[in-house]
């Protein structure tokens, strides 16, 4: 019997973007086109003082993030 493949919680793809407005636009577009919220845009200072990111799940369950270290 072949093992069935499943999406694990560890599947995570991150895109580094230029600024916070790009993180916000990524998040809005992802939700508009079928993604689901997994962490809205915001600072995550436990990573870095300027770590600003947003997390979504695509329809297959993969976690996708847009992140910037820019203060803008």
pLDDT tens per residue across span 6-63: 656 668 899 999 999 999 999 999 999 999 999 999 999 999 999 999 999 998 888 9
Contact 40, 25 (CB under 8 A): no
pLDDT at 67 over 70: yes
Please enumerate, as own/partner, the contacts of 16-19 that have beta carbons within 8 Å and a separation of 24 or more. Answer: 16/67, 16/68, 17/66, 17/67, 17/68, 18/68, 18/70, 19/68, 19/70, 19/72
CATH for 62: 3.10.180.10
pLDDT at 66 over 50: yes
Domain assignment of residue 24, given as a range: 12-68
Q: How many structural domains compose the chain?
A: 1
**Within a domain: residue 25?**
yes
If one compares 55 and 3, the residue with the highest pLDDT of the two is: 55
pLDDT at 3 over 70: no
């Amino acid at each position: 019997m072949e093992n069935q493949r499943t999406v694990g919680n560890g599947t995570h793809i991150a895109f580094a973007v230029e600024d916070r407005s790009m993180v916000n636009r990524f998040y809005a577009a992802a939700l508009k086109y079928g993604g689901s919220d997994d962490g809205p845009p915001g600072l995550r200072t436990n990573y870095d003082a300027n770590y600003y990111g947003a997390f979504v799940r695509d329809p297959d369950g993969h976690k996708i993030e847009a992140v910037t270290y820019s203060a803008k």
